[in-house]
């Protein structure tokens, strides 16, 4: 069974399952803490990370490889090098392709624990970090703290537990600082012309790779301010909105045309027919083919 066809309580739970667990790996957790540290050694491979309620920070300990990823908005890529960091988004299935081996150190944190570590902004941390999702960057402090957490987790004493809370708070604070920190925008809501421009562009370009920086540029806002303003206006992230519009368009084409399902998937911006089927099943509890048949009967 593909990872996308089953549910996982957490990213840690997923890593423990086959076929993922055949990879060289080691997990550590500090007693009494919900976050998990995972050290992985990947070969060149293709992989689908399922949607979970965790946000996880990936530190590339050793790497020189090209990585492509697709979270529903089309394939994008970057050259990963030793010292790079990537933040994986919660509640999003992501397909990865890597052309050579890499060693990773991952800090996985459940979303429902963020309020314990970031008490001042528990409700908006997920949205505030969106500009960093799947974007390669460098931050020496974050790298050092994640590495130190790995070392401290080996002892499991009270000092390690105390260090853990402070380190996680510092990591999240550093990430928030990187995207500008909490601040307000002057948008007037869903009817604001800047957001209306974005909605019109999305509707007209669903087949394209609608990346967050591109949508933010259309709104003439920074990626951080755009992501936060969009969530405030529409009650969902830009990624979730784009995926919903793709699903709606696919549903309409399935019902009203005889176009091949693979063509519809490409026309709606999905990486493949199977990629669209995964999302279609999750949202509508049926496959595109069965849905089309039900509309004919």
Task: Say if domain 194-296 classifies as CATH 2.30.30.60.
Answer: no
Helix-helix angle 238-256:193-204, to 10 degrees: 40
Per this entry, what is the length of the chain? 297
> Against a cut of 0.75, is the pTM above it?
no
Q: Do domains 3-178 and 194-296 have the same CATH topology?
A: no
Q: Which CATH architecture has domain 3-178?
A: Sandwich (2.60)
Is 12 within 8 Å of 106 (Cβ atoms)? no
Burial 73-102, CB ≥16 within 10 A → b, else e: bbeeeeebeeebbbbbbbebbbbbebeeeb
Angle in degrees, CA 94, 99, 102, rounded to 5: 80
Domain boundary assignment for the chain: 3-178, 194-296
State residue 49's pLDDT score: 87
What are the pLDDT digits (tens) for 79-132? 999 999 999 988 888 999 999 999 999 999 888 777 666 655 545 677 778 888
Highest-pLDDT range among 22-26, 140-144, 169-173: 140-144
* Of 149 and 187, the one with more pLDDT: 149
Reported as a pLDDT band with limits 50, 70 and 90, residue 209 is confident
Written as six digits, the tokens of 124 are 């908006």
* Of 185 and 65, the one with more pLDDT: 65
């Amino acid at each position: 069974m593909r990872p996308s066809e089953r549910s996982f309580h957490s990213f840690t739970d997923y890593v423990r399952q086959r076929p993922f667990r055949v990879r060289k790996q080691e997990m550590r957790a500090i007693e009494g803490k919900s976050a998990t540290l995972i050290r992985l050694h990947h070969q060149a491979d293709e992989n689908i990370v399922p949607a979970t309620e965790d946000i996880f920070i990936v530190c590339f300990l050793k790497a020189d490889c090209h990585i492509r990823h697709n979270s529903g908005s089309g394939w994008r890529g970057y050259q990963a090098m030793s010292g790079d960091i990537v933040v994986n988004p919660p509640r999003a299935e992501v397909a990865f392709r890597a052309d050579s081996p890499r060693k990773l150190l991952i800090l996985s944190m459940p979303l429902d624990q963020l309020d314990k570590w970031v008490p001042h902004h528990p409700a908006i941390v997920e949205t505030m970090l969106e500009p960093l999702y799947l974007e390669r960057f460098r931050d020496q402090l974050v790298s050092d703290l994640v590495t130190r957490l790995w070392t401290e987790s080996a002892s499991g004493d009270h000092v390690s537990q105390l260090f853990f809370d402070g380190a996680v708070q510092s990591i999240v604070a550093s990430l928030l600082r990187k995207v500008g920190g909490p601040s307000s925008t002057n948008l007037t809501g869903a009817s604001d012309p800047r957001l209306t421009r974005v909605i019109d562009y999305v509707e007209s370009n669903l087949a394209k790779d609608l990346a967050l920086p591109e949508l933010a540029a259309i709104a003439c806002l920074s990626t951080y301010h755009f992501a936060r303003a969009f969530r405030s206006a529409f009650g969902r992230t830009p990624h979730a909105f784009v995926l919903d519009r793709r699903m709606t368009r696919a549903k309409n084409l399935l019902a009203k045309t005889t176009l091949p399902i693979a063509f519809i998937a490409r026309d709606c911006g999905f990486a493949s027919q199977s990629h669209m089927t995964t999302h279609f099943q999750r949202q509508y509890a049926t496959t595109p083919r069965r849905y089309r048949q039900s509309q004919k009967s």
